[in-house]
Amino acid sequence: MKRKSIGTNYSMCVQPTFIIGTYNEDNSPNFAPITWVSATCEGKEYLLVVSMFGTKKTKQNLIRTKSLSVNLVSVDMLDLVDYFGIAEKNTSKPEYSYENSGFVFAPVLDKSRWVYECEVVSSVKTGASDTFFCKIKNIQIDESIDVGGTFDVDLTKFDPVIYSGQYHSLGKHLGKIGDFLENKAK
């Protein structure tokens, strides 16, 4: 395969899309779409890694409360992504509901099929960006979806939105680690 250089201004950081839930100082809910979410591990525990740029209210709330919900966005939630991200003050409000997390001080979107309830354990500041390392206190999933082992989750059942400058979805489940090498050898 031949490749060509295209410069450094392109972004091919494929990220799942999440809506982060925090509480404002008056205890009203605050939601913001964030795609800079990843995971790492500390010993045998997974930590979510959430990065935010600028001075957005969600970031200020997270610094103040150290609590958040990380709500996976499915295709049927794209109106909420736009509402919370760009149009909250300018358009009519789409229907949504939330409940209080049972594990941290954060609101949880009822519509999300997969929700992490997290507590910030440390953070790193880089210029105008903050990266938060978050201990997962609980995971909620849609009760109609069964998951297998830790690495046996069929993402197509959650219909996640993937972001890389534009939104995408998953078309189909392709298989597990090792399936392709075995199939090629046959």
pTM of the model: 0.89
CATH architecture of 15-176: Roll (2.30)
Per-residue model confidence as pLDDT tens digits over 62-94: 999 999 999 999 999 999 998 898 865 666 788
Q: Structural domain boundaries of the chain? A: 15-176
Distance CA 86, CA 78 (A): 12
What 3-state class would DSSP assign to 7? coil
> In the predicted model, is pLDDT for residue 156 greater than 90?
no
Q: How far is CA 170 from the centre of its chain?
A: 15
Q: Are strands 45-53 and 67-72 parallel, antiparallel or unpaired?
A: unpaired
